[in-house]
Amino acid sequence: MIDKKLIEECRGGNFNNFRKLVEVTSPIAFSVAFRMLGDDDQAKDVVQETMITIWQKLNKIKSAEGYKSWMYRIVINKCYDELRKRRRYPEFVPDEKTWALISNSFSDGPSSDLENSETAQIISLLTQKLSPKQKAVFILSEIEEMSNDEISEITGMSKSGIKANLHYARKNLSEMIEKYL
């Protein structure tokens, strides 16, 4: 939970409190960025860029209430930029070692906690055919468990757009799960 008082103080230009805000906000931003990109280093870069943008534009948000969705919006847009850069990357085909790792994760049961690298492998494998928008909607809706209103505020998509993107994402993911797992 992000402290609203802390945000207000940072909005006033308090540089020392911004350190605390970075400390609190970074893991949340990293979680989304990592799930969107499936890459540790790139996700860290996105978090850094996000934090810098937050510092530069923090006084432009209307109130501390809107901070979280505003932060998510910055992260998602920065992830879009990253995904756009790597649009021509070759298709992710897991090797035997990776397959063993993914299979173990599934056989361990639904509540097993995965390492970052394992999560990255699964995300890269399953979401490789999703468009950036579908990926964003899927992650925010299915994994971060946000409402359509929140997603609409973050991505700027209409509710029907969100539903359509989520439908295609689920369909695509089901096919990928059926194919690989």
Partner 1 sequence: MTMKPESEKYNKVLNILRNSNPILKSTKDIEKEVIKRISMSKQPGCNLTDVIDFLFGWVYIGWVRRSLVTASVFLVLVFVWQQGVMLKQINFLSRQIIVTGGETVNSPARQVEKLLMRYKSSGRSFPSQSITISEKQMKELLDSVNDLKIKYKDLMNLIEEDPELKKYIENKLIENNRSKIKL
Binding residues (CB under 8 A) for partner 1: these are 15, 18-19, 22-23, 26-27, 30-31, 34-35, 43-44, 47-48, 51-52, 55-57, 73-74, 77, 80-81, 84, 105-106, 110-116, 118-119, 122-123, 126, 142-143, 145, 170, 173-174, 177-178, 181
Q: Shortest distance, CB of residue 4 to partner 1, whole angstroms?
A: 21
Please state, in angstroms and rounded to a whole number, the distance separating the CA atoms of residues 45 and 154: 20
Please state, in angstroms and rounded to a whole number, the distance separating the CA atoms of residues 127 and 132: 9
Indicate the residue type of 88: R
- Which of 84/97 has CB closer to partner 1? 84
Q: Shortest distance, CB of residue 117 to partner 1, whole angstroms?
A: 10
Indicate the residue type of 168: Y
- Which of 114/164 has CB closer to partner 1? 114
Q: Shortest distance, CB of residue 62 to partner 1, whole angstroms?
A: 14
Q: Shortest distance, CB of residue 73 to partner 1, whole angstroms?
A: 7
Q: Shortest distance, CB of residue 55 to partner 1, whole angstroms?
A: 5
Please state, in angstroms and rounded to a whole number, the distance separating the CA atoms of residues 9 and 17: 7
Yes or no: say if 86 and 36 are a contact pair by the CB < 8 Å rule.
Answer: no
Burial 53-76 (b: 16+ CB within 10 A, else e): bbeeebeebeebeebbbbbbbbbb
Residue 18 CA: distances (Å) to CA of 25, 26, 51, 72, 98:
10, 11, 9, 17, 39
Phi-psi region of 109 (alpha: psi -120 to 50; beta: other; left: phi over 0): left
Q: Shortest distance, CB of residue 137 to partner 1, whole angstroms?
A: 14
- Which of 64/70 has CB closer to partner 1? 70
- Which of 90/110 has CB closer to partner 1? 110
